[in-house]
Amino acid sequence: MANKVSKIIDENNQLRQQLNDQNKEYYEKLLIYVRSAGFFYDDNEVESSLLEILKDIIDAQKDYKNAEEYLGKNPSEVADELIANYTKISLFERVKFIGLLFGISVIWTLITQFSSSNHEINLMPFILNGVFMIALTAGMMWFVHQTTYRKLFDNKKIEYTAAGIFGVVVIAIFAGILFITPSFMSFSINNGGIVFVNVIVIVACLVGIYFLPDTYEQILIAAMPVILIITLLNIIKTFGLPYYVIKQVSTIAIILLILGIFWFGAVFWHSTQQDNKK
């Protein structure tokens, strides 16, 4: 199924190049609106309907009609009719998708907990980060869906400032959750355990790049430098090196982390732009 959906998306990507600028803007807003309608619609059905609409717009364009003349001035109404008739995926597929989001948060929580000086794992941040990750993803999709045809800010500076504040708040929440560590949910882990778990995380991420669907593959590629830096630093800390050496290594790691965050932003932005072309 995943390969079939990918082929439909690739065909969509190629055919979209035939649209003129006006029709392309019209269609891409429609596409974003439909794709961001929710997690739990059948991907094959969604992408097939989007491809059919694209082909219809191309045919109309050949007859010297633009997309607005063909589909109307209120494309959101057309999209809402489509969405209302989409098939929902099975309960198993929903659980699998939510589990994947939860798994991503587990990896992040695990490696960041090992970054602390005490060799303890606390279960509470795993639960809270997982719930927050799912809520954040759902909230972002809802926001994109609601604002595709509505502009919240006329001023670009205000828009970018609001986006920056949102990013800071999200990071602050993820960081704050790490401090919620009730003692009854904590257990100790030795150096061997730390090395083993961090190596498993590295291997799992590398394997995931090759076997996960394209969307998650891109997320992993974007996050991989940050994951590698934190996991390798966690492993190095178990070697019993002198404090000044650890301090130097940590300083280098912080610089690399900053670069890794820029890499994450660049790859994620590029991936988003590609998705908008798919």
Sequence-ordered alpha helix ranges (H) in the chain: 2-16, 21-35, 43-62, 67-71, 75-85, 91-113, 123-147, 156-177, 191-211, 214-236, 243-276
Determine which of 11-15, 110-114, 197-201, 270-274 has the lowest per-residue pLDDT on average.
270-274
Token pair 């994450």 is found at 264
User: Is-contact 200 208, C-beta < 8 A?
Assistant: no
pLDDT tens-digit series, residues 104-132: 888 878 888 877 767 778 889 899 988 98
Please give the pLDDT value at position 278.
46
Residue 172's pLDDT is: 81
Q: Is the pLDDT of residue 276 over 50?
A: no
pLDDT, mean over the chain: 82
Is it the case that residue 159 has pLDDT exceeding 70?
Answer: no
- In whole angstroms, give the CA distance from residue 271 to residue 53: 23
pLDDT band at residue 2, thresholds of 50, 70 and 90?
low
pLDDT band at 156; cut points 50, 70, 90: low
User: Mind listing the pLDDT tens digit for each residue in 19-43?
Assistant: 999 999 999 999 989 988 877 898 8
State how far the Cα of 221 lies from the Cα of 266, in Å rounded to an integer.
11
